[in-house]
Structure 1
Amino acid sequence: MENFSINGYLVYGSIGLIVVLFYYIVRLQTKISAANENEEKLFRETYFDPITKLPNKKNIKYIFDEQISRTIRHNQSFTVLAIKINNYGKIKEKSIELAHKFIYEASNVIIRLTRDEDLVSCVDEDVFIILFNEYLEGDKYQLILQRLKDGFEQQLKGIDIECEVSMGVSQYPTDGTDADILIEKAILQALSKQF
């Protein structure tokens, strides 16, 4: 009977130990999952615009660096287009929620009217950048600008507010050789024009 008691205690003790280990494994997996979710959330918040879900300025700088390296290797150039939503501030004064909806719908217009190989990003709450993977000749450039202009002249989905935009362009390497300069020059040109 003593052997049975000792064996019984060992069995129950082993089962208890397994349960405790299982509990700690599940707890560890939960913590790992939470850490991964936090890491993903931090990544999204760091590299993507929270409203449009497009790459932000930090993110696009890495892509610019890759594009510049490719362009140097192949002795080519590329074009950057800035789109400034001029009446965003006025809309935001009326309602932040409306402003967020407005900028989200504006981003959808831009995405719909650009090619898949071109990168659209939101570098400020009212400024979008399109990184074209090639230099655009005058006729292609004008065609894209006209297509975007026409798209913005149509009413944004579910929003009864006219979209006032201006656009500006910079070219690598003519206007600059790094992301900040190219973005800044395109934005400055956009600020001097209004469509």
Structure 2
Amino acid sequence: MNKYQERTDIKKYFLLAVVKVMNFQEVKLRNEQRANEFIVEVGDRLLESIRDEDMLSHISQNGFLIVFNEYLEDKNSDILFERILNAFKEPFVDAKGSIKIDIKIGKSTYPKDSEDSAGLINEATRVALNSTDS
């Protein structure tokens, strides 16, 4: 059995998360070079927060997508999301000073929230934008 068949046989559910950097545009308006460094720092912190088997993608100027490669029960996914939020407690610091990193996270689950990628991303984005956590 190849890897693809193994994954589709085992995984009937998976979790997707959208991370929005709410203050990216504000940083970019002030200094585009600094905004680039700022968003790279966000990506690095996200990579440090997720597991090796998960996938991270930078999908828009202020958005990232995380695909969790194995189904996580709510209690286990809550631990991962808490780890991600904790990675942003410290501000971004460079020679010009520090900036708080304001993120919002939304999640969706296949197939509960949608059965296609656009629906999953839209639902996770909706949840992120309505989130009070940051």
TM range (shorter): 0.7 to 0.9
Are 1:105 and 1:157, in contact at CA under 8 Å, matched by a contact in 2? Answer: no
Give the deviation of 1:154 after TM superposition: 1.4
More strand by share: 2
1:140 matched to 2:80? The reply is no
Give the deviation of 1:185 after TM superposition: 0.8
Q: Which has the higher contact order (CA 8 A, sep 6+)?
A: 2
Cross-structure match for 1:115: 51
- Distance in 2 separating the partners of 1:129 and 1:94: 26
Structure 2 length as normaliser, TM-score? 0.88
Unpaired runs of at least 5, structure 1: 1-65
Cross-structure match for 1:166: 104
Unpaired runs of at least 5, structure 2: none
Are 1:81 and 1:186, in contact at CA under 8 Å, matched by a contact in 2? Answer: yes
Q: Using a 3 Å threshold, how does the CA distance of structure 1 residues 111 and 175 change in structure 2: closer, same or farther?
A: same
Give the deviation of 1:145 after TM superposition: 1.1
Give the deviation of 1:70 after TM superposition: 3.7
More helix by share: 1
Identity of aligned residues (%): 29
- CA offsets 1:41-97 (integer angstroms, 9 cap, x no match): xxxxxxxxxxxxxxxxxxxxxxxxx98x943x3352000011100001111111111
**CA RMSD of the aligned region, Å?**
1.9
Cross-structure match for 2:118: 180
- CA offsets 1:145-189 (integer angstroms, 9 cap, x no match): 111111011123536100011100000011111111111111111
**How many residue pairs align between the two structures?**
128
